[in-house]
C-alpha cells in the first residue's frame, strides 16, 4: 500500500494541460488565464483629476496669487482645455484630464467662487497646497507594456476588471474540464425522494459538485450507477468517452458489491494504485485512460469529500494550468492521539488566535460516515503517519474546504 505523498505524486504525474481556448470577457469568470495580459496604456493613461475643484498652476499660487480667473469648465471625458496665461484656472471634475500647464487641483470645499465684470473668479481658501495634489499622475501605477496578469491566474472579479481595462474583449483561457460525478450503490435514492428505512440519499455527488465550484469553472454531469457490473460497464462507457475526469464515489472497498475497480479495468482504465495508507479513505482507487483520469473515492461521505480536497483539487489545478497555491498550515489547539500507521485527516475549525496565529480545533467526529460532523469544520489537518501523538502547539498542513 502506498502513502499519501506517493499517491499525490502518481496522480499529478503526466497530468496534461487542457488546450487553450478564447472566450469573450463576459464568460471569463472562474477560468484560468493562459496568456500574459499586458497594459496597452499607462496606468492611469493621463493625468487624472481625483477631486472636483479647480485646476491651477502651483507656481502661480506659490508666487502669492490666491484669486484666479475661471476660464472654463472641464468634465470627465472632455478633451483638455488649455489656459492661456498665468492667473487662469479651470473648474474641473473628477476623472477629467488635468489641462496642460496646470498641475494642482484644489478641492471644491476650499474654494470661494464669485462673479465680477462678467467674469468668473475663484478664491483659494486653503492655506497649504502641494504641487500635484489631487492628480493621479499618468503612469504612476504602471507603464504601457507591463505585465498585469500572468498565465495560470484564476480569473476572479479583480482580474476581470484588469482585463476589461486593458482592452481584452476576448481572453485566452484553459478549456473547461468535463467532469463526471458518479455515485454508486443500490442503497442510494434521489435527494427529493423519501428513503425507505434501508436507503439513504445520494449526498456525495452534491457535496463534490459544490467543492468543484470553488476550484474553477468546470462542466459537471451528475450520474448514478447501480451495483451491477454489466450495467456499470454499459453506463460508464459513454461517460468515459465524453469526460476528462471521472470522480466516482463508492464501490472501491473489498465488499462483494464493490465492482468499480474491475469494471473500470474492463473499460481500459489502467489502474495506477488502489488503497492508500490514510484514514479516512483507505480504499481510494486511481486510474488513467489516455489523458483521462478516474478517481474512485470510497463512498463514505467524509472519505469522498476529504479525498476530493486532498487529491482531486490539485489534479484539476494542474490540468487547468493554475498557479499552485501556497500550502496552508495551522497549529493544533489541543493534544491529539491517533495510533494506526496511517496519515490521518483530522477535521478542524481553524481560525486566527488573538496573537495572529492560525489555530486548529479538532472535530474528529465518529469516523468516515459521520458526514454531519464536517459542518463544525472549515478544513482538515494532515497528521503524518509516522507519528501517533500530536501535541498541542505543533503545526501541520491545513486543507481548507
| Size of interface with Mg ion, in residues (CB under 5 A) | 4
Residue carrying C-alpha cell 463512498: 299
Residues from 187 through 206 that contact ligand AMP (CB under 6 A): 187-188, 200, 202-205
Nearer to Mg ion, 177 or 299 (CB): 299
Residue carrying C-alpha cell 483561457: 173
Give residue 178's Cα distance to chain centre. Answer: 19
Q: Quick one: which of 44, 301, 377, 379 contacts ligand AMP (CB under 6 A)?
A: 301
Shortest spacing between CB 236 and ligand AMP, in angstroms: 15
Nearer to ligand AMP, 307 or 317 (CB): 307
Q: Does 261 bind ligand AMP (CB under 6 A)?
A: no
Residues from 231 through 270 that contact Mg ion (CB under 5 A): 250-251
Closest CA to 279 of 196, 338, 229, 344: 344
Q: Does 281 bind Mg ion (CB under 5 A)?
A: no
Phi, psi of 230 (to 5 degrees): -65, -45
Nearer to ligand AMP, 60 or 258 (CB): 258
Parallel, antiparallel or unpaired: strands 270-274 and 278-279: unpaired
Nearer to ligand AMP, 186 or 334 (CB): 186
Q: Confirm if 58 and 176 have CB atoms less than 8 A apart.
A: no
Alpha-carbon gap, residue 396 to 329, rounded angstroms: 5
Shortest spacing between CB 15 and ligand AMP, in angstroms: 25
Nearer to ligand AMP, 203 or 221 (CB): 203
Nearer to ligand AMP, 202 or 319 (CB): 202
Residues from 105 through 134 that contact ligand AMP (CB under 6 A): none
Phi, psi of 92 (to 5 degrees): -135, 150
Q: Quick one: which of 44, 175, 185, 377 contacts Mg ion (CB under 5 A)?
A: 185
Q: Where are the beta strands (DSSP E) in 155-201?
A: 170-174, 178-184, 188-189, 200-201
Q: Does 299 bind ligand AMP (CB under 6 A)?
A: yes
Residue 244: CB atoms within 10 A of its CB come to: 19
Alpha-carbon gap, residue 386 to 364, rounded angstroms: 19
Q: Quick one: which of 74, 134, 278, 300 contacts ligand AMP (CB under 6 A)?
A: 300
Sequence-distant (≥ 6) Cβ neighbours of residue 214 within 8 angstroms: none
Q: Please report, as ranges, the residues that interact with ligand AMP according to CB under 6 A.
A: 183, 185, 187-188, 200, 202-205, 249-251, 253, 255, 298-301
Amino acid at each position: 500500500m502506498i502513502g499519501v505523498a506517493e499517491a499525490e505524486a502518481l496522480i499529478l504525474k503526466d497530468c496534461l494541460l487542457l488546450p487553450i481556448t478564447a472566450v469573450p470577457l463576459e464568460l471569463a469568470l472562474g477560468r484560468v488565464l493562459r496568456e500574459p495580459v499586458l497594459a496597452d496604456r499607462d496606468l492611469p493613461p493621463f493625468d487624472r483629476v481625483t477631486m472636483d475643484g479647480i485646476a491651477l498652476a502651483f507656481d502661480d499660487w506659490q508666487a502669492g496669487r490666491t484669486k484666479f480667473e475661471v476660464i472654463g469648465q472641464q468634465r470627465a471625458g472632455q478633451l483638455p482645455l488649455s489656459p492661456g496665461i498665468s492667473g487662469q484656472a479651470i473648474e474641473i471634475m473628477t476623472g477629467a484630464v488635468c489641462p496642460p500647464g496646470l498641475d494642482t487641483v484644489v478641492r471644491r470645499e476650499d474654494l470661494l467662487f464669485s462673479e465680477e465684470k462678467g467674469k468668473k473668479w475663484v478664491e483659494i481658501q486653503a492655506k497649504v497646497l502641494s504641487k500635484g495634489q489631487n492628480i493621479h499622475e499618468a503612469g504612476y501605477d504602471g507603464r504601457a507594456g507591463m505585465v498585469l496578469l500572468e498565465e495560470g491566474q484564476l480569473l476572479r472579479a479583480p482580474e476581470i476588471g484588469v482585463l476589461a481595462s486593458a482592452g481584452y474583449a476576448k481572453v485566452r483561457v484553459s478549456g473547461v474540464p468535463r467532469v463526471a460525478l458518479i455515485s454508486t450503490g443500490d442503497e442510494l435514492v434521489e435527494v427529493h425522494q423519501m428513503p425507505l428505512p434501508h436507503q439513504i440519499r445520494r449526498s456525495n455527488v452534491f457535496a463534490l459538485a459544490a467543492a468543484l465550484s470553488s476550484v474553477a469553472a468546470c462542466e459537471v454531469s451528475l450520474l448514478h450507477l447501480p451495483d451491477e457490473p454489466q450495467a456499470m460497464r454499459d453506463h460508464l462507457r459513454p461517460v468515459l468517452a465524453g469526460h476528462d475526469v471521472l470522480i466516482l464515489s463508492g464501490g472501491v472497498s473489498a465488499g462483494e458489491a464493490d465492482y468499480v475497480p474491475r469494471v473500470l479495468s474492463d473499460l481500459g482504465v489502467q489502474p495506477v494504485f488502489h488503497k492508500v495508507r490514510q484514514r479516512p479513505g483507505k480504499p481510494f482507487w486511481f486510474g488513467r485512460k489516455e489523458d483521462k483520469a478516474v478517481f474512485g473515492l470510497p463512498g463514505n461521505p467524509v472519505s469522498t469529500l476529504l479525498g476530493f480536497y486532498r487529491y482531486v483539487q490539485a489534479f484539476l489545478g494542474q490540468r487547468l494550468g493554475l498557479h499552485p497555491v501556497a500550502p496552508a498550515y495551522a497549529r493544533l489547539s489541543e493534544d491529539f492521539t491517533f495510533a494506526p500507521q496511517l496519515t490521518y485527516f483530522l477535521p478542524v475549525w481553524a481560525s486566527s488566535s488573538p496573537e495572529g496565529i492560525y489555530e486548529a480545533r479538532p472535530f474528529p467526529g465518529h469516523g468516515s460516515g459521520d458526514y454531519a460532523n464536517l459542518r463544525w469544520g472549515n478544513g482538515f489537518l494532515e497528521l503524518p503517519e509516522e507519528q501517533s501523538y500530536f501535541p498541542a502547539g505543533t503545526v501541520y498542513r491545513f486543507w481548507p474546504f
